[in-house]
Structure 1
Amino acid sequence: MNFIIWLIVGGLIGWVASMIMRTDAQQGVILNVVVGIVGAFLGGFLLAPLLGTGTINSNDFSIAGLGVSLLGAVILLAIVNLFRRGSAR
């Protein structure tokens, strides 16, 4: 059951991050899930130790954990945009 919740929350985080970075029209549902989950890994690696919280990947579905996962997804999309277009927007 945790796996299904992980996919749903990852998809929502990827969708919100793509709306923030204005890449929503280029992405589908599967890519939103991938961005949310990989972004949570990135946020867990970079931001979670600084803020002292977990991410959705460590089963931390608190507001702080969701925020760190969202920031990681936004950072991931900024990096992808940087390499794709030459600017982070």
Structure 2
Amino acid sequence: MSFIWALIVGGVIGWLAGLIVGRDVPGGIIGNIIAGFVGAWLGQAVLGDWGPEVAEFAIIPAIIGAAVLVLLLSFVMRAFRKAS
């Protein structure tokens, strides 16, 4: 059950990051979950484990990390579309 909870929280983090940045996460729901997990890992690695925690995600660093990841992904995807 904790794995399902982590998937839900990861998806919400990825969705919030997309809203903050103003860009869609490529891949829909799966993309949101992946962006949430990878962004949370990056955010906690760089910023630490401070703030409230849900499903072992420190929410504030996770959202910041996911927002940066979504922004970088959107720039890379745009560059690939222009190059083709």
Within the candidate set 55, 64, 77, 1:71 is matched to 64
Aligned equivalents of 1:17, 1:69: Cα separation in 2: 9
Q: Higher strand share goes to which structure?
A: 2
Aligned equivalents of 2:25, 2:45: Cα separation in 1: 28
Give the CA RMSD over aligned residues.
2.6
Alpha-carbon contact 1:55-1:69 (below 8 Å) kept = no
Name 1:8's counterpart in structure 2: 8
Question: Could you list the runs of 5+ residues in structure 1 that have no partner in the other structure?
Answer: none
Distance 1:79 1:31, change over 3 A: same
Instruction: Give the counterpart letter for 2:72 in structure 1.
Output: I
Instruction: Give the counterpart letter for 2:41 in structure 1.
Output: F
Aligned equivalents of 1:41, 1:55: Cα separation in 2: 15
Alpha-carbon contact 2:9-2:55 (below 8 Å) kept = no
Name 2:82's counterpart in structure 1: none
Q: TM-score, normalising length from structure 2?
A: 0.76
Paired residues in the alignment total 79
Identity of aligned pairs, percent?
A: 37
Give the ranges of 4+ consecutive aligned residues of structure 1 lying more than 6 Å apart after TM superposition. 54-58
The reply to whether residue 53 of structure 1 matches residue 50 of structure 2 is: yes
Name 2:40's counterpart in structure 1: 40
Question: Could you list the runs of 5+ residues in structure 2 that have no partner in the other structure?
Answer: 80-84
